[in-house]
Amino acid sequence: MLIKWSKPFRKNPKLVWGSFFAIGTVVYLKVWIPLTGLSIPCPIHAVTGLYCPGCGMTRSLTALLKLDLEAAFRYNSLVYALVPLYLCYWLLQRKKLHRTSNAVLIAMVILALGYGIARNLPLFDRLAPPDL
């Protein structure tokens, strides 16, 4: 028996894949990690002992699912700067303003690299994720 997808899903396969990704993420964060205690470790931190720009993301997303905004921000604050910039980039791409969207993309890369460097300096140790 073939599954008949509703009209929005047939016209937009990105919606299907995005839905599967979102459901998988929630199951991973709310079921797998609490049951097993196993999560994906950061390979950069495991090898070098340094914090990458993404360190603390899993715990940040878990805190967001619990609506604990303060803890989510504490685990990885970079996301809260990148999400609005990414939305701006996406809108500029849709409007075909490629020069401006490329500038926003470059700003996002520079911000991520700067954040990754700063969170490993003693002066900015508050940017490092707690409890690693």
Helices (H), 1-132: 7-11, 13-27, 33-36, 43-48, 57-65, 69-75, 79-94, 98-118
* Among candidate residues 117, 59, 112, 103, the one with its CA nearest the CA of residue 83: 112
Q: How far is CA 100 from CA 29, 32, 84, 127, in A?
A: 36, 41, 15, 29
Q: Is residue 4 part of a domain?
A: no
Whether the pLDDT of residue 1 is over 60: the answer is: no
Against a cut of 0.85, is the pTM above it?
no
Distance CA 43, CA 51 (A): 10
Q: Is residue 8 part of a domain?
A: no
Q: Is residue 79 part of a domain?
A: yes
- Count of the separate structural domains present in the chain: 1
Q: Is residue 1 part of a domain?
A: no
- Read off the pLDDT of residues 22-59 as tens digits, 9 standing for 90 and up: 888 888 888 888 888 888 888 888 899 999 998 988 88
Q: Is residue 7 part of a domain?
A: no
